[in-house]
Structure 1
Amino acid sequence: MTVFVIRRLFQSILTLFVTSLLIFFAVFAIGNPIDVLIDPAADQIEFERAMKALGLDQPIWDQYFIFLKNALQGDVGRSFVFNTPALELILQRFPATLELALTSLVIANVIGIPLGLYAGLKPESVGGRSIMAGSILGFSLPGFWVKLTMIMLFAVELGWFPAGGRGETATFLGITSSLFTVDGLSHIALPATGLSLFTMALVIRLTRSGVRETLPMDYIKFARAKGLRESRVISVHVLKNILIPIVTVMGLEFGGTVAFTVITETIFSWPGMGKLLIESINFLDRPVVVAYILLVATMFIGINLMVDLVYAVLDPRVRLSDTGSESK
């Protein structure tokens, strides 16, 4: 297990290096931020002074190596627009995005797993077929259209929920969140639900597929032959064995949800990292864009590592196969 973790850490460092290289040059190719930041009527002297102040007068490779050297010391640059450390600016918005992503993931699992179990246990019933039809809609409908429709229906027409914003926050055990207030819960309800629909559809289909594959297994027949209650057979023997693919997908989906909340945060005016990213792209604020993508890449790598470790806990065969591959 130790060799496995060390190898994964080395792969993670290499992935981060390649990611930083690709993103730095990709952002550099978008355009010159000076064209956005200074007055178009400025003369050449002011233009060159601004270029030098931001370090943009040097060759691209020199800029990258300076960035890499500073990044190894925890400094990924200062925002051109806000004149604030880019990482600090992103981390200020991170709690709101994390709160939204976690809430949507909880909604997707709390609703998706029971619906998937029902659809798997009773595939030919009207309820089972309806659930699967609904999951197809979750994959097919454009996310931005669904979210705008939710605002029109539940916020504008019915007036049940606010149309945007984070709402009132409160602090509990050192954690500040809108989940601790009624006003905050009403504000997060629509964006979290809209964000969870795709993941919910995925969980439903994964759960149903796992149930259909597991039910014919011999150990399920043996458990029933022993006289175990059906609820125990389902909760212990069936559910435990279908958790591995669900854990994998949820880990990856969580990273994806955090990374791609841009549309949801923009539509619902949610003050998270996604909204900051859109603003930074509009102003060609390179340090913020690069820092955001590196942070997301680090999250993906960390989540993948945790998923692999959870694999080993849920299924001992993973540990055995890993040990076997190392001994060859």
Structure 2
Amino acid sequence: MLTYTASRIGQTIIVLLIISFIAFLLVANLGDPLSALLSADATVAERAALIKQLGLEQPMLSRFASFLTNFLQGDLGTSYRTQEPVAKLIVERLPATVELAFVSLIFTIFVGIPAGIFCGVNPKSPISRGIMLFSITGITLPNFVVGIALIAVFSVQLAILPSFGRGETVSLGFWSTGLLTVSGWQAIILPAITLSTFQITFIIRMLRTQLMEVGQSEHIRFARARGVPETTIWFHYAVKNTLLPVITMLGLQLGNIIAFSVVTENVFAWPGLGSLFLQSIQAADIPVIAIYLIFVGAVFMIINLAVELSYPLIDPRVLRRK
């Protein structure tokens, strides 16, 4: 187990270093930080001082080493657009994105998994066919269409949920949360449903396919021949055999929710990292874009590491295959 864990952590560190280098190249080769940080009437001396301050006169590898050192110390650079530290912008926006991702994942788990199991166990029932029809719609429609439709119904027509913003928040020191207020919960419902729609439909279809395949396997047929009750067969043998791919996909879906919340946050004016990323692209704010890419890469790698480390706990045979 220790060897397995060490190898996975080592692979994660290597990939994170590669992602950091790509982000550094983005910072180093796109845009002109001098024109963004200096005024139009800046003197030659001011320009030279800024070049020295940013280390632009150093070789590429030395600059990457400085970039990595500063990054590990929490110095993520300065935003071209706002002239504020990138770390400050990330910390301010992070709670909104994390809470939106958390609530979306809760919706995905408590809706997608039961519906997927039902469709896999009862693939020919009318309810199952209706769920699969819904899943086709959820996969086909883009997030922004779903979001606009929800706003039109629940905000415009029924006027029961807000169409933008995060609602009232409560400061807990380093963290501001909207999950402790009524308006915060009202504000998060529509964007969370929008963001989880594709994830729910994907999990439903994957679980249904997995269970239908497992249901035709030899050990399931043998269990039926022994007279094992159908409930035991499905919920003890079949579902257990689908846990590894389901956990893998849930982990990846969490990464997708965080990484691809840009459109949803923009539709609902949600003050998270996704909207910050979109604003940075529009303003060519390269430092923020680079740190966002590192953040997203780190999220995917950490989630993937956590998922892989959970495999031996679910199925000890994984260690014997390594």
Query: What TM-score bracket applies, with the shorter chain setting the length?
Result: 0.7 to 0.9
Deviation of 1:81 (Å): 4.2
Specify the code of the residue in structure 2 equivalent to 1:182. Answer: V
State the SS of the aligned residue for 1:271. Answer: coil
Specify the code of the residue in structure 2 equivalent to 1:318. Answer: V
Give the TM-score normalised by the residue count of structure 1. Answer: 0.86
The farther-off stretch of 191-200 and 272-281 is 272-281
1:58 maps to what in 2?
Answer: 57
2:239 maps to what in 1?
Answer: 239
1:138 maps to what in 2?
Answer: 138
- Per-residue Cα deviation, 1:227-256 (whole angstroms, up to 9, x for no partner): 655444433322222121110001011112
> In the alignment, does 2:36 pair up with 1:30?
no
- Per-residue Cα deviation, 1:300-328 (whole angstroms, up to 9, x for no partner): 11111111121111111112112xxxxxx
2:313 maps to what in 1?
Answer: 313
Change (3 A) 1:299 1:226: same
- Structure 2 distance, partners of 1:282, 1:56, is 26
Counterpart mapping for 1:81-120 below 5 A: 81-120=81-120
Specify the code of the residue in structure 2 equivalent to 1:126. Answer: P
State the SS of the aligned residue for 1:319. Answer: helix
1:214 maps to what in 2?
Answer: 214
- Structure 2 distance, partners of 1:192, 1:72, is 32
Question: Are the counterparts in 2 of residues 34 and 50 from structure 1 also a CA contact under 8 Å?
Answer: no
Give the TM-score normalised by the residue count of structure 2. Answer: 0.88
- Aligned-residue Cα RMSD (Å) equals 2.8
Question: Are the counterparts in 2 of residues 199 and 253 from structure 1 also a CA contact under 8 Å?
Answer: yes
Question: Are the counterparts in 2 of residues 55 and 63 from structure 1 also a CA contact under 8 Å?
Answer: no
Deviation of 1:94 (Å): 1.3
Change (3 A) 1:157 1:56: farther
- Structure 2 distance, partners of 1:152, 1:30, is 40
Question: Are the counterparts in 2 of residues 277 and 292 from structure 1 also a CA contact under 8 Å?
Answer: yes
Deviation of 1:3 (Å): 1.4
2:153 maps to what in 1?
Answer: 153
The farther-off stretch of 68-77 and 300-309 is 68-77
Change (3 A) 1:81 1:112: same
- Percent identity over paired residues: 38
State the SS of the aligned residue for 1:179. Answer: coil
- Structure 1 distance, partners of 2:235, 2:307, is 22
Specify the code of the residue in structure 1 equivalent to 2:312. Answer: A
Question: Where in structure 1 are there 5+ consecutive unaligned residues?
Answer: 323-328
- Structure 2 distance, partners of 1:133, 1:29, is 47
Deviation of 1:261 (Å): 1.1
Counterpart mapping for 1:199-210 below 5 A: 199-210=199-210
